[in-house]
Amino acid sequence: MARQSGGTFVLRIEDTDAARNKPEWVDGIISALAAIGINESDPTFEGPYFQSQNAERQREATERLFAEGHAYYCDCTREALKERTGSEHLGYDGFCRDRALEYAPGRALRFRTPDQGETVVTDLVRGTPTFPNNAIEDFVIARGDGSPVFLLANVVDDLDQRITHVIRGEEHLSNTPKQQLMWEALGARPPLWAHLPVIVNEKRQKLSKRRDKVALEDYLVEGYLPDAMANYLMLLGWGPGDDVEVRPYPELERMFRIEDVNTSPAFFDVKKLTAFNGEYIRALSPEAFVTACAPWLAAPYAPWRPDAFDQGVFEAVAPLAQTRLALLSEITSYVDFLFLDEPVHDEPSWNKAMKPGAAELLGDARATLADAAWEPEPLKAAMEAVAAGHGLKLGKAQAPVRVAVMGRTVGLPLFESLATLGRDRTLARLDHALGRLAGE
């Protein structure tokens, strides 16, 4: 929205609740936005600002609202309200409206909601939600110690920063008439609102940081590309309308229309995101793919000794891996056999491949491969001969060889892998597997 209109995207950290504000969380927000290209290098980006730094202006607003009759002080306790209404679940009954109380420690400041009329919200996603004013209680805008509550602080900050569009989750829609009434009481025209649909998990439950993985950084650490994340996030609640979903972000940015956002919940489909990521990985240039894999080829992700890694060897097999990865973090499991002294056998793969007859097949494979020219095609031809001798298709015959040499049933193409690993190391691993089978 900001880029389309030549406007400014404002990052404001609403930190007035000290218990819910920690420096590392702020750093996480800033780094996550930066990872998908929203940072100080973007001319449409501004911030971060901190709500706590505007406390004086917020306090001035509470004093003005009181002085102009839009707010009043209240000393009602929860117990007194329950005694008057007979329930602790009913809203405030307006008891202090006409008591003309002045400020004193412990007295909250309440907004005087109009008795008549209605508040109409202009929402770019939901039309014009309408709220009867007599259904909105006189809500607190400053605590008993004089500090403004979030609703008022938000309005003052928006006013000071000349916010024209407030785009946020639909759970805030119920706050909107209260905020709009305060905008009008402060003599300002309310912004345009856009309340986006909630995001739900596969059980159609609203995403929760207590239950679901919701931090962007966690996905990046798993090996999701920032461009893939941005592409997928753009499609939560909105679509380009032509069924082409994987496309460059600038193209999505040009096509986006806030009015086309859906009102129904958006399903965060991790499987679909992963498929997106695989497409983005395959679209990288070979050089960009090698660079993108670099973090996972070093500690703490890599399982091999640092001195065992050979960049040239990795670059030789990187194109083979690039067509197979869904996550960058998977790269270590595809190439670890090249840099470990011995492969780490995945036990389910071992048990699946090393069935009765596997020892005989491995013995014949070892003898035949030992005499083959050490290139992919001759190695393949040698294994085809072994397979034919055992009455097997090549895929079945090569499974025990793959597990013996590479450690698992899924990985890079076998014969290119053997050619890269080398004759001596390949034969040694076959011998090791034969020894294990003999022991078993």
SS3 of 339-405: the string is: HCCCCCCCHHHHHHHCCCCHHHHHHHHHHHHHCCCCCHHHHHHHHHHHHHHCCCCHHHHHHHHHHHH
Q: What does the block give as tokens for 241? A: 């309308």
Per-residue confidence (pLDDT) for residue 17, from 0 to 100: 75
For 15-25, write each residue's pLDDT tens digit.
877 777 888 88
336 is in an annotated binding site: no
Domain count, the chain: 4
Banded model confidence at residue 193, pLDDT cuts 50, 70, 90: very high
Rg of the chain on CA atoms, in Å: 32
Query: Which residue segment(s) compose the domain that 351 sits in?
Result: 347-439
Query: Are residue 61 and residue 175 in the same domain, yes or no?
Result: yes
Query: Are residue 250 and residue 122 in the same domain, yes or no?
Result: no
In a domain, 7, yes or no: no
Domain of residue 250, CATH code: 1.10.1160.10
0.75 cut: is pTM over it? yes
293 is in an annotated binding site: no
- Is residue 347 pLDDT above 80, yes or no? yes
Cis bond upstream, residue 348 (ω within 30): no
Query: Are residue 101 and residue 69 in the same domain, yes or no?
Result: yes
Query: Are residue 145 and residue 181 in the same domain, yes or no?
Result: yes
Banded model confidence at residue 83, pLDDT cuts 50, 70, 90: confident
In a domain, 25, yes or no: no
For 320-343, write each residue's pLDDT tens digit.
999 999 999 999 999 999 999 988
Q: Known catalytic residues?
A: 209
Give CA 251 to chain center in angstroms. Answer: 21
Q: Which of 162, 196, 230 is the last residue of a domain?
A: 196
Query: Are residue 421 and residue 319 in the same domain, yes or no?
Result: no
Query: Are residue 357 and residue 325 in the same domain, yes or no?
Result: no
Q: Which of 339, 364, 381 is the last residue of a domain?
A: 339
Query: Are residue 257 and residue 325 in the same domain, yes or no?
Result: no
Query: Are residue 87 and residue 132 in the same domain, yes or no?
Result: yes
209 is in an annotated binding site: yes
In a domain, 13, yes or no: no
For 375-428, write each residue's pLDDT tens digit.
999 999 999 999 999 999 999 999 999 999 999 999 999 999 999 999 999 999
Q: Which of 237, 268, 283 is the last residue of a domain?
A: 283
Query: Are residue 335 and residue 354 in the same domain, yes or no?
Result: no
Query: Are residue 192 and residue 310 in the same domain, yes or no?
Result: no
Average pLDDT over residues 72-88: 88
Q: How far apart are the first and last CA of the chain?
A: 65
Query: Are residue 87 and residue 184 in the same domain, yes or no?
Result: yes
Query: Are residue 367 and residue 394 in the same domain, yes or no?
Result: yes
Q: What does the block give as tokens for 408? A: 């698992």
In a domain, 275, yes or no: yes
In a domain, 274, yes or no: yes
- Is residue 361 pLDDT above 80, yes or no? yes
96 is in an annotated binding site: yes
76 is in an annotated binding site: yes
